[in-house]
Amino acid sequence: MNQMLLALWRYRHFMISAIKADLRTRFNRSKLGASWMILQPLAQVAIYAVVLSSLLAAKLPAGKGAHLSYAVYLIAGMVPWSLFAEVTSRSLTMFVDNAGLMKKIAFPRICIPVITLGGALVNHSLLLLATLAIILITNHPITWLVLWVPLLTMVLLVFAAALGLVLGVINVFVRDVGQVMNVVLQLWFWMTPIVYVADVLPKQFQSIVAFNPVTPVIQGYQNVLLFQQMPPYVRLSLLLVGSTVFLGLALYMFRKASPELVDVL
């Protein structure tokens, strides 16, 4: 572990340059450039708000059933989900996409997952700033509880990094994983209380949603950005402990598979 951390520090400038190059490449020749990182999730929120607000806005807790409150509820859940989905989906192919670089240049392979996380975190930060602006525009207060957001983001990143690293390594050897995860992520989205309130579900589905590891982070964002309530810190603590153990196992798996990655790619 110490060797990995030391290698990351030595190659910090390389990783920063790679994150900048990745952002430039993704939006090269685009008129709106990095604005698409914000516009795409906001457009998705707008669609859900228009289609579902008449059905689900009244299901929010008393006093929060206004039409604009449902839009804020949606975007408060969509912001962390976008981060989780981006880290997971990009991690799936991070070693395959960087196969040429791994074969030509000698550098610590652990830099690739960190570069993927860094790019996703930049996107998340811009989307979060846009979300805070929307909350103010819609006359919803931003309280000191917003200080929980960095901690919620860290908990989500630990879990997403562990899952992404495992999936990225497996995808090098079994390419079907990528196709399967596209379907799993769609199902996972609807099993997470982003467009609905968990209380409206039948009892048997509520228990499934409760065991969803992403749920406490999503509800934490919704609590601090809309309901002005504390996040479910007990469940978040359990998630952080479990995710840290999961990340340790993922790093062990990556270390064991690392010598064979370039040969298989």
CB contact set of 143 (below 8 Å; sequence gap of 6+) = 224, 228
Instruction: Locate 78 and state its tokens.
Output: 């969509």
Token pair belonging to 59: 């299901």
The identity of residue 128, as a single letter, is L
What confidence tens digit (pLDDT) does each residue in 101-126 have? 787 877 788 888 999 999 899 889 98
Tell the residue number behind the tokens 């989205």, with chain if given.
189
Place of tokens 């562990």: 162
pLDDT tier at 208, thresholds 50, 70, 90:
confident
Q: Tell me, what DSSP letter sits at residue 190?
A: H
Q: What is the mean predicted confidence (pLDDT) over 232-251?
A: 93
Among all chains, which residue has been given the structure tokens 């960087």?
Answer: 98
